[in-house]
Amino acid sequence: MNILGMLAAGPKAFRGEGVNHENERFVGVLKVEALENGRAVMLSYSAKLENGTVVHSESTLLGTGSDGKLCLWPVMSELPVVLPHTEVMNKSEPGKQTLAVFGSGARDDSAIFREEITIEYSEEGSLVYGHAWGLPGGTFEDRSSCRMVPSGA
């Protein structure tokens, strides 16, 4: 089962802790809403510092594009536009984990903003949501990651 199927069939809320690109610890909350019998999911993600400051929020549609590949369409608090992120890598280890990486722009193209969003779902129920990016003229690096477990919220 791919990451879309796992998310559509799995828990609908996750909560955990992460670290952002400024080395700040945050609490991450992810809500999953299956759409049209699991053909797509809406992911609502936020990251808050201990003092309650929201340092990141996004609403992201995950579905299958016309080319048959999975694609993310994230609307993020930091970006003025929606950049489609096509699946660039996936890996599944039955009984262990399912991982998918979605990219917008080539990692090595330092002339543009580029980003990858990684979703890793482990069979024991935890989920890692990570962002790697590079600004124009800058290096491409892992910037933020949050490990979450199912929650009742």
β 85-93/114-122 pair status:
unpaired
Is residue 15 a contact partner of residue 153, using CB atoms and an 8 Å limit? yes
User: What residues contact 103, with CB distance under 8 A and at least 6 apart?
Assistant: 85, 86, 88, 114, 115, 116
Look at residues 129, 132, 97, 100 and name the one whose alpha carbon lies nearest to residue 113. Answer: 132
The helix/strand/coil state of 45 is strand
Query: How many residues make up the chain in this entry?
Result: 153
Enclosing H/E stretch for 6: helix 3-9
Question: Could you read off the pLDDT of 17-76 as tens digits, one per residue?
Answer: 999 999 999 999 999 999 999 999 999 999 999 999 999 999 999 999 999 999 999 999
What is the tally of structural domains in the chain? 1
Say if CB 147 and CB 11 are below 8 A apart. no
**What CATH number is attached to the domain comprising 105?**
2.40.128.20
Residue 7 dihedral angles phi and psi, to the nearest 5°:
-70, -40
Domain range enclosing 32: 3-150
Beta bridge partners of 97: 93, 122
Which pLDDT tens digit goes with each residue over 79-128? 889 999 999 999 988 888 899 999 999 999 999 999 999 999 998 889 99
Three-class SS of residue 14? strand
List the one residue out of 149, 144, 119 whose CA is nearest residue 16: 149
Prediction pTM value: 0.93
